[in-house]
Amino acid sequence: MKAGYASSNVKKILNQLNLDPVFIRRIAVANYEAEVNVVAHAFKGVMKVYFNPAKIRIVVEDEGPGIPDIEKAMQEGYSTASEKVREMGFGAGMGLSNIKKNTDQLDIQSTLNKGTVVEMINYIQNSR
């Protein structure tokens, strides 16, 4: 399983904006978790980054099993990751709660057997 490529590229771009390093790091952590979720659970996914001087908005959209109970999935330690994924050190059930911790605004839409859309917004003014 190779995850981290997309979020690493996004981090490179964010680093080119004159933003607070801690602000960038929060987005990088959230973004990486979102990418890992796609690689661990879904079949394929797209990460889109939108930015303007007010906010960074990242939308991660996947085609996959979807999340049956989003509220439950948000709880720390809750995981549906396969044994194989856990063996690789992922699937500790911290993903979504970690994303929540590191975003100013989080929206998750999921349809069973279709896919999930994770929208993460961080406000730049909060970083200064």
Interface with another protein by CB under 8 A: which residues? Answer: 4, 7-8, 11-13, 15-19, 21-22, 24-25, 28-29, 32, 36, 51-53, 89, 98, 124
- In the complex, the smallest distance separating the C-beta of residue 42 from another protein, rounded to whole angstroms, is 18
Q: CB-wise, 12 or 48, nearer to another protein?
A: 12
Cα separation, 4 vs 2, in Å, equals 7
Instruction: Give the closest residue to 13 by CA, choosing from 64, 56, 69.
Output: 56
Residue with tokens 């699937």: 91
At 81, the amino acid letter reads A
Q: CB-wise, 10 or 115, nearer to another protein?
A: 10
At 118, the amino acid letter reads V
Q: CB-wise, 12 or 72, nearer to another protein?
A: 12
